[in-house]
Chains A and B, each alone.
Chain A
Amino acid sequence: MEKDVVQMKNITKKFGNYKANDDISLELKQGEILALLGENGAGKSTLMGMLSGLLKPTSGEIVINGKSVKMENPRDAKTLGIGMVHQHFMLIPAFSVLENIILGDEPLKAGHINYKQAAKDIALLAGKYHLKIDLSAKVADITVGMQQRVEIMKALYRKANIFIFDEPTAALTPQEIDQLMKIMRALSDEGKSIVFITHKLKEIKEVADRCVVIRMGKVIDSVKVAETREEALAEMMVGHKINFAVDKKETNKKETIFKIDKLNVEAHGQLKIKNLDLTVHSGEIVGVAGVDGNGQSELIEAITGLRKIKTGIVVLNGKKIQHQSARKIAEAGVGCIPEDRQNVGLILPLTISENLVLKSYYKKPVSNKGFLNYKKINEDGRQLIKNFDIRSQSEKELVGDLSGGNQQKVIVAREISAQPELLIAANPTRGVDIGAIEYIHEKIIEQRNAGRGVLLVSFELEEILKLSDRVVVMHEGQIVGEIDPRDTSSEELGMLMAGKQLAE
């Protein structure tokens, strides 16, 4: 039996009267990959925050390599050999990969940074753990997968023995996920221990040895992954049976609602969308699959009027809507659940009801002769909160105080209640818990069943395959293929996304 490298004993963490972690105990053995499964808000991040020195437990004991420790800050955790690979990478885009890796721990030679030594050390590590990285590239120019490898290398370079991966696969392609899994196994083969935070069951099955399920701040169970079915894990996580199937009615009318013809869009002086054609019919969900950075954001911005269109035609219900202001396009019937909910979709320091009227505040009856009718705004807010099951204290609560899933529901409520002809949904369920995912999927399908068009842009292939009637693949600003989601696997889709042609 391997020894325990981490023991967390009876950890409780309170924020005010709220127990984020309630008497949690877990062990991590040497060379083990331990999955930490739980919905958003279950307390996973809080627990790992304490292991990485960001938070201090209210009570309980943390034992690292047999010694009881009290960590004051993340630096203490680093010294103890704990490396965190964050969900949002903590890299400096303007620096090279090498500079990012050594930042804060630069090897010095006569007061100068010894880049040669650093590069040699890192190359050695890279070979050992199959981490392919280009040391001289600028972080701004490399892919998300490579950025993650840089993060892993940062931890390795600091001689970490215990790795915490915080939802590492959220932004990766299937191929990159495979690669990450290989790296994780290589790390564990070398005796490194890994905590893998996720809510994706497939990945747990694939790579983890053991899985600890957390719900509402408590450990529900600790199971051997090989002996547990995915469904059982999911039920443990949410506490009830889950409906994995979606209710898609056959819709028969297939009129063209939305059409893009030979669209060209530039961003930062580069042509990001090249001669793109796209059609959405009524009662249809069109999925746009693709690796992040292949023009999806530019496409959405161009349609919604946030980015200039160089050439091309965009038609909604027979009317041209290109070269118009964002407001005109929204009024014409384009709704959008944006990719970045906290920075684009919402104004966090405003109330829920104010956010709910963010796109309609200027219209009667809410606005009258330049004055806003707050009574009406709050009444409407209460109604939408009820209709869309937004869990909140009141309509005057600040949106910033809501959980991620409920924030997303605010956006969904606003966009859908405007009854758009075309609904664009960009990663609509990213970072929200399973309950909210189910709900948001339901709402999107409702739009489709009501005969509206939906353009679903997502990096979650399973989401795309599950919801879409038709899937197009975007690569380097072009549509490189179209598939039928009913007879395509995510592996095949992944190949297309990486720019390869499917062998017929």
Chain B
Amino acid sequence: MLHSRSMKGLAVPLISIAAGFIIGAVLMLIFGYDPIQNYQNLLIGSLGDVYSIGETLRNMTPLILTALGFAVSSKAGFFNIGGPGQYLMGWFGSIVFALSFSNLPTWFLIVGSLMCGAFFGGIWSFIAGFLRAYFGTSEVITTIMLNYIALYFVNFAVKNWLASKGSDSSPNIAKRASLNTEFLQKLTNNSTFNWGFFIALIMVVVIWIYFNKTRSGFEVRSVGLNEAASLYAGINVKRTIVVAMLVSGLLAGVGGAIDGLGNFQNISVSNNLPSVGFNGMAVALLAAENPIGIIFAALLFSALQIGGLSISVYSNTPSEIVDIVIASIIFFVGIKYIFKVALARNWGKRRRKTTNGGADK
């Protein structure tokens, strides 16, 4: 029974992915492009050599972290749309620290910058969590608003405090504060691959343990599944909500810090919220909020994004086709309910006690 349940859990994302690729292929055929050729280029462009692999892994790192962040809040029953803002605050926090304390010893500098980034991201989600727990304010609204506050605050701060006059970006951080080391550059043929990837993997393990083995994780799951029962059981629901939202933002903040320290080396004024925050939500949904699943979902999204760049290099197919594939996958994951019903019917495995079957996860 447990076995068939996890099998079905995998069926929905796999079907969604296949459907996304098929739609992409059909569109390419309609507009006269060669889908097989393009998908081949996509694969080569994302995983064909060490350089592309390095790029893909680097690109998936913040996706993993924003997705993990979204998953944590979602397990507690909250829809944290604040990933972009928390990521941005994390990025900002890490660069500020790295610039301000550049004379610290290397290890202190790097760990301090990462923690500062996590802290900034955490504050941002903590605000939403606190408002939700103690004033009942919808976290959907507050996190959306906080996204914009983050965007304009960071733009203001970069322009007025960090950038030299007339410039739109901060100076670069010291080389030794960077997560991108020569060793990794050599290994991946000068890609932007950096140590952040391993930090993300460690965070996946930490979060998995958090949910499945710790007291606090049990509380978060309980509150997310049934708030009334949690209250009755004596769980401090308000505190749990705040903790879950805090952890959620810490993770997104680490994602931003890793991108800041490993990829960008500075922070600049931007017009839009970073899309990686939103894509993290899609990754989490595709992975059904399973920490291990998030690694694979992030890999897929990242490979599509990185490989998509080479589609238009090797042929005249517009690289936007990849966005359509990604969007279709998200769409199909979103309507997974339909798949679930269809699967339940075809496999004839509807459980007998349907009236008690409130458990659908």
Which A residues fall within an 8 A CB radius of B?
A: 15-16, 18, 20, 45, 304, 306, 325-327, 330, 336, 338, 340, 342-350, 354, 358-359, 361-362, 367, 370-372, 374, 393, 396-404, 407
Q: With A346-B229, A347-B226, A347-B229 given, is the CB distance from A330 to B350 under 8 Å?
A: no
Q: Measured between alpha carbons, how far is A393 from B225 in the docked complex, in Å? A: 22
Return chain B residues, CB-CB under 8 Å to A343. 226, 228-229
Asked whether A349 lies within 8 Å of B225 as measured between CB atoms, the reply is yes
Q: Is B215 an interface residue (CB 8 A)?
A: yes
Return chain A residues, CB-CB under 8 Å to B232. 304, 306, 326, 336, 338, 344-345
20 pairs of residues in contact across A and B, judged by CB atoms under 8 Å? A16-B348, A304-B232, A306-B232, A327-B235, A340-B228, A343-B228, A345-B229, A347-B222, A347-B226, A358-B229, A370-B216, A371-B214, A371-B215, A397-B1, A398-B359, A399-B359, A401-B353, A401-B357, A404-B356, A407-B356
Asked whether A400 lies within 8 Å of B234 as measured between CB atoms, the reply is no
Asked whether B225 lies within 8 Å of A350 as measured between CB atoms, the reply is yes
Distance of B129 from chain A, by nearest CB (Å): 20
Return chain B residues, CB-CB under 8 Å to A45. 355
Chain B interface, number of residues (Cβ within 8 angstroms)? 34
The chain A residue sitting closest to B354, CB to CB, is A15
Which B233-247 residues have a C-beta within 8 angstroms of A?
A: 233-236
The chain A residue sitting closest to B361, CB to CB, is A349
Asked whether A347 lies within 8 Å of B358 as measured between CB atoms, the reply is no
Return chain B residues, CB-CB under 8 Å to A372. 213-215, 218
Distance of B212 from chain A, by nearest CB (Å): 8
Q: Measured between alpha carbons, how far is A304 from B232 in the docked complex, in Å? A: 8
Return chain A residues, CB-CB under 8 Å to B215. 361-362, 367, 370-372
Q: Which of B226, B233, B352, B359 gathers the greatest number of chain A CB atoms within 10 Å?
A: B233
Asked whether A15 lies within 8 Å of B356 as measured between CB atoms, the reply is no
> Lowest 3 CB-CB distances: which A-B pairs, in order?
A327-B234, A400-B359, A15-B352
Q: Measured between alpha carbons, how far is A354 from B236 in the docked complex, in Å? A: 17
Q: Measured between alpha carbons, how far is A402 from B358 in the docked complex, in Å? A: 11
Q: Is B58 an interface residue (CB 8 A)?
A: no
Distance of B202 from chain A, by nearest CB (Å): 18
Q: Measured between alpha carbons, how far is A354 from B215 in the docked complex, in Å? A: 12
Distance of A495 from chain B, by nearest CB (Å): 34
Return chain B residues, CB-CB under 8 Å to A347. 222, 225-226, 229-230
Asked whether B228 lies within 8 Å of A349 as measured between CB atoms, the reply is no
Asked whether B356 lies within 8 Å of A402 as measured between CB atoms, the reply is yes
Q: Is B7 an interface residue (CB 8 A)?
A: no
Q: Measured between alpha carbons, how far is A407 from B353 in the docked complex, in Å? A: 13
The chain B residue sitting closest to A367, CB to CB, is B215
Q: Measured between alpha carbons, how far is A316 from B357 in the docked complex, in Å? A: 38
The chain A residue sitting closest to B228, CB to CB, is A344
Q: Measured between alpha carbons, how far is A373 from B357 in the docked complex, in Å? A: 28
Q: With A330-B234, A371-B213, A393-B1 given, is the CB distance from A401 to B226 under 8 Å?
A: no
Residue in A20, A396, A400 whose beta carbon sits within 8 Å of that of B358 in the complex: A400
Distance of B332 from chain A, by nearest CB (Å): 24
**Chain A interface, DSSP helix/strand/loop, else mixed:** mixed
Return chain B residues, CB-CB under 8 Å to A349. 225, 358-361
Return chain B residues, CB-CB under 8 Å to A325. 234, 236
Residue in A326, A338, A340, A342 whose beta carbon sits within 8 Å of that of B234 in the complex: A326
Return chain B residues, CB-CB under 8 Å to A403. 353, 356
Return chain B residues, CB-CB under 8 Å to A340. 228
The chain A residue sitting closest to B360, CB to CB, is A349
Q: Which of B214, B226, B232, B349 gathers the greatest number of chain A CB atoms within 10 Å?
A: B232
The chain B residue sitting closest to A301, CB to CB, is B232
Q: Is B206 an interface residue (CB 8 A)?
A: no
Return chain A residues, CB-CB under 8 Å to B235. 327
The chain A residue sitting closest to B1, CB to CB, is A393
Q: Measured between alpha carbons, how far is A318 from B359 in the docked complex, in Å? A: 42
Asked whether B349 lies within 8 Å of A16 as measured between CB atoms, the reply is yes
The chain B residue sitting closest to A404, CB to CB, is B356
Distance of B218 from chain A, by nearest CB (Å): 6
Q: Is B341 an interface residue (CB 8 A)?
A: no
Asked whether A401 lies within 8 Å of B231 as measured between CB atoms, the reply is no
Q: Is B221 an interface residue (CB 8 A)?
A: yes
Distance of A272 from chain B, by nearest CB (Å): 18
Q: Measured between alpha carbons, how far is A301 from B303 in the docked complex, in Å? A: 54
Distance of B134 from chain A, by nearest CB (Å): 15
Q: With A325-B234, A404-B356 given, is the CB distance from A16 to B361 under 8 Å?
A: no
Q: Measured between alpha carbons, how far is A129 from B349 in the docked complex, in Å? A: 45
Distance of A249 from chain B, by nearest CB (Å): 31
Which B5-40 residues have a C-beta within 8 angstroms of A?
A: none
The chain B residue sitting closest to A354, CB to CB, is B218
Asked whether B352 lies within 8 Å of A358 as measured between CB atoms, the reply is no
Q: Measured between alpha carbons, how far is A64 from B121 in the docked complex, in Å? A: 65
Residue in A16, A359, A367, A402 whose beta carbon sits within 8 Å of that of B233 in the complex: A359
Q: Is B165 an interface residue (CB 8 A)?
A: no
Distance of B243 from chain A, by nearest CB (Å): 12
Q: Is B351 an interface residue (CB 8 A)?
A: yes
Return chain B residues, CB-CB under 8 Å to A346. 226, 229
The chain A residue sitting closest to B231, CB to CB, is A306
Distance of B191 from chain A, by nearest CB (Å): 38
Distance of A411 from chain B, by nearest CB (Å): 10
The chain B residue sitting closest to A304, CB to CB, is B232
Residue in B234, B348, B349 whose beta carbon sits within 8 Å of that of A359 in the complex: B234
The chain A residue sitting closest to B359, CB to CB, is A400
Return chain A residues, CB-CB under 8 Å to B353. 401-403
The chain B residue sitting closest to A338, CB to CB, is B232
Distance of B350 from chain A, by nearest CB (Å): 6
Q: Measured between alpha carbons, how far is A274 from B360 in the docked complex, in Å? A: 42
Q: Measured between alpha carbons, how far is A344 from B233 in the docked complex, in Å? A: 9
Asked whether A396 lies within 8 Å of B229 as measured between CB atoms, the reply is no
Which B176-232 residues have a C-beta within 8 angstroms of A?
A: 213-216, 218, 221-222, 225-226, 228-232
Residue in B226, B352, B358 whose beta carbon sits within 8 Å of that of A16 in the complex: B352
Asked whether B358 lies within 8 Å of A350 as measured between CB atoms, the reply is no
Distance of B84 from chain A, by nearest CB (Å): 30
